[in-house]
Structure 1
Amino acid sequence: MTYEILKLPQYHTKHHNGRRFRNIWGPHSDSDATRFDEASSDIRHRALDVASWIFRKGLGGQKSGKVPAVLPLTKADLEQPGDLPRTVWLGHAAVLIQQGDLNIITDPVFADRVSPVKFAGPRRLCGRAIETHDLPRIDAIVLSHNHYDHAEAETLAGLARRDNPAVYVPLRVAALMRSLGFTRVFELDWWQAVETESYKVTCLPAKHFSGRSATDRNETLWASFMISLCESNKHIYFAGDTAYSPHFTEIADVFESIDLTLMPIGAYLPRWFMREVHVSPDEAVQAFLDLKATRMLGIHWGTYDLADEDLDQPRLETLAAAERHAIDKSRLHITDVGAHFTF
């Protein structure tokens, strides 16, 4: 396998200053612009407000609604996907993309908890459709950023030991990947790409933040990615973790044909806190329309309790938003964990 690193004509460095990274689109339209810090691109929330929300969430009772059902998968189910591209939602932002002998996975997280320690932090709400060791051989991992619910050490280290796949990460995330055992790590800036004989991975903007401790906020980059399959000429857009911003239309201007978007729809309440980092279901559907994509798979919901919405609120609100926009039901997939479809 040969790898060629490319820079797209849109490449620029406005979003980093040599030490930290920043978003470049200003505050969300519903945010208080007077609280926006231009240097860091952060909204300066009052510490008491944030602490109160964290405290209330920690005391929160049972939520209403249902987590997604889990459709059990066997090794055999994933061994012969066929000639058409196929996606399998494995929970949260983990999606297995298959075509022929090629297996690419996004943000693989299978842990019972997503935090620095195993005894605390958000607990997995639904079961796993398949265990990590039963996955087919993974050829490539596409990782959006270093938050624990997207870059989970145990799952990643297991895949490194078993398959040592190529890993595509935003700037300054390579050190974490190498510490977990990966040797083929490609660290990319926005608007850079790596092309191989069978696929191409393009690193693209997202509006979010990064950090794995209290002291390293925004020292590594976050990103979305376009995954292009050479055999079928299909383009899958992985939105990663993101708020709503003009970057969706910027991406659509470059990629005129997007066959599928993997779009987050959960972890969006309360809006005063989440709107700068996570799309709401309404915004997820609008982003899908901005991208002019053919299909959308809803991800980043129902797997870990990260915010205030009820367990199935993301699914219900996304479906309602799609109906308001008269989007045909065949274009929108809000599936059970383990469900798959070809496209």
Structure 2
Amino acid sequence: MHLKTLSTLIAAALISACSNSNTVNVIAGEGTITPLKTEGDFEGRYHNLYPGDKEYPTTCTDNCYEPSELLICDDSNSQCQYQAEQIVPATNTGFIVRWLGHAGFYIQSPNGEQLLFDPVKDQFDSPVDLAFKLAGGSYRKPGFWPTKSELEGLNAVMYSHIHYDHFNKADIEEIGNAPRYLVPLGFADNFPTGGFNISEMAWYASTQINDLTIHSVPAHHFSSRIMVPFIYDDHNKDLWNGWLLEQNGKTLFFAGDTGYSKHFQDIKQKYGEIDVCLMPIASYYHEEDGKWYRYVHTTPEDALNAAEELSCKVMIPWGYGNSSWQMGDHSSHSALLRLLNMQKQMNSQVPVYIMNEGEQISL
């Protein structure tokens, strides 16, 4: 091969490699929180704002899962659909919300920006999906997925944390590198290489997409990607977030995976009353380690109390459903049954709008 031709090929390869590298910027600094441990176990790793034993305002003890005629299921008490006449709360925010299943949401902002929260199309990343199935886990019915034109029109994709049921590398490759990716601190090194534009954000950091403001807010959870017990190489190496969208004086809050803690009150104090709250209500139950599951996941009554503390004008629950993995739940819709019962027992005044996967609502 001619030397000039060889040098041209090498230069082209280098240019191609550079063009496929990801662009990562960190948004932190004054007015934000980077919650790193400074001593003790896991020094230099992230931690929750309010660790330690929890006291919960409300805990269901009786009649938690009474059947509801509003929930129509098949003979195996799964593949359920919620069927009720619901009044759309008069929030007049301009946000359009579609539930994709589990924690995934497609959002259109009042001025037309298109966004995704925690999209997971199918199963866990391979080979973990197979390992999960072999270990006896529930193999998920695929969730709903945005259309090709919607994916091409995305402005941003936001992830709350790196757990497999919230973040899938195969999905990122399908979504592509046109939108911005907004993630917690330390998250970017989990991305595949492909020219992705990634912003890592500290708690209370903000960024703009046109005139849409996106705030990273605290959650009470943890992070890990390695699913082998007692191996902690990546334990809390990456942060976890909730997200708050703000446009035209209206707000939409996505809590991410979180347990109940004082961080909800902090968010209300900083941003005021929240118009739309997307709140998790599942994965809190486990026969052997229920205390830990609830520590990092809200029960339905925890979610109702948190929504009240946030002064949510409407709460949309998620985490249950036909496209869930049923991790830490009695059944696919047990969390929704508990929500319906606790809403009555608590005489909760929080407006709740219940969706089936794939449904869309204009708020």
What interval of TM-score do these two structures reach, taking the shorter chain for normalisation? 0.7 to 0.9
CA distance in 2, matches of 1:6, 1:13: 8
Q: Which runs of 5+ in 1 are unaligned?
A: 32-62, 71-82
1:196 aligns with 2:213: no
The one of 223, 241, 246 equivalent to 1:223 is: 241
> Deviation per CA, 1:58-105, whole angstroms, max 9, x where unpaired?
xxxxx96324549xxxxxxxxxxxx93210000011111113531111
Q: How does 1:105-184 map to 2 (within 5 A)?
A: 105-113=116-124, 116-121=127-132, 122-130=137-145, 133=148, 135-136=150-151, 137-161=153-177, 164-177=178-191, 179-184=192-197
> Deviation per CA, 1:193-215, whole angstroms, max 9, x where unpaired?
11232311111111110011142
1:334 aligns with 2:354: yes
What corresponds to 1:84 in structure 2? 94
Q: State whether residues 5 and 195 of structure 1, in contact with CA within 8 Å, keep that contact through their aligned partners in structure 2.
A: no
Distance verdict in 2 for CA 1:30–1:257, change over 3 Å = closer
Q: State whether residues 123 and 304 of structure 1, in contact with CA within 8 Å, keep that contact through their aligned partners in structure 2.
A: yes
The RMSD of aligned alpha carbons is 2.9
CA distance in 1, matches of 2:315, 2:29: 27
Q: State whether residues 15 and 22 of structure 1, in contact with CA within 8 Å, keep that contact through their aligned partners in structure 2.
A: yes
Q: State whether residues 112 and 123 of structure 1, in contact with CA within 8 Å, keep that contact through their aligned partners in structure 2.
A: no
The one of 288, 293, 314 equivalent to 1:274 is: 293
Q: In the alignment, residue 255 of structure 1 is paired with which amino acid?
A: Y
Q: How does 1:16-31 map to 2 (within 5 A)?
A: 16-17=37-38, 19-29=44-54
SS in 1 for 2:48: coil
Q: State whether residues 68 and 337 of structure 1, in contact with CA within 8 Å, keep that contact through their aligned partners in structure 2.
A: no
SS in 1 for 2:107: strand
1:12 aligns with 2:33: yes
CA distance in 2, matches of 1:257, 1:126: 36
Q: In the comparison of the two structures, how many residue pairs are matched?
A: 293
Q: In the alignment, residue 128 of structure 2 is paired with which amino acid?
A: V
Distance verdict in 2 for CA 1:233–1:65, change over 3 Å = farther
Q: In the alignment, residue 197 of structure 1 is paired with which amino acid?
A: N
CA distance in 2, matches of 1:88, 1:106: 10
Cα offset, 1:300, TM superposition: 1.7
Q: State whether residues 329 and 335 of structure 2, in contact with CA within 8 Å, keep that contact through their aligned partners in structure 1.
A: no
Distance verdict in 2 for CA 1:5–1:221, change over 3 Å = closer
> Deviation per CA, 1:276-314, whole angstroms, max 9, x where unpaired?
211111101111111111111111222112124222111
Q: State whether residues 139 and 166 of structure 1, in contact with CA within 8 Å, keep that contact through their aligned partners in structure 2.
A: yes
Distance verdict in 2 for CA 1:153–1:13, change over 3 Å = closer
Cα offset, 1:12, TM superposition: 3.5
Distance verdict in 2 for CA 1:262–1:15, change over 3 Å = farther
CA distance in 1, matches of 2:47, 2:127: 24
Distance verdict in 2 for CA 1:159–1:247, change over 3 Å = same
1:298 aligns with 2:317: yes
Q: In the alignment, residue 244 of structure 2 is paired with which amino acid?
A: M
CA distance in 2, matches of 1:110, 1:225: 20
Q: State whether residues 244 and 252 of structure 2, in contact with CA within 8 Å, keep that contact through their aligned partners in structure 1.
A: yes
Distance verdict in 2 for CA 1:320–1:287, change over 3 Å = same
Q: State whether residues 66 and 312 of structure 1, in contact with CA within 8 Å, keep that contact through their aligned partners in structure 2.
A: yes
- Higher CA-based Rg: 2
CA distance in 1, matches of 2:236, 2:45: 5
TM-score, normalization: structure 1? 0.77
Same amino acid, percent of matched pairs: 26
SS in 2 for 1:120: helix
The one of 320, 336, 341 equivalent to 2:341 is: 320
Please, which moves more after superposition, 199-208 or 128-137?
Answer: 128-137
CA distance in 2, matches of 1:259, 1:166: 25
CA distance in 1, matches of 2:198, 2:159: 11
Cα offset, 1:274, TM superposition: 0.3
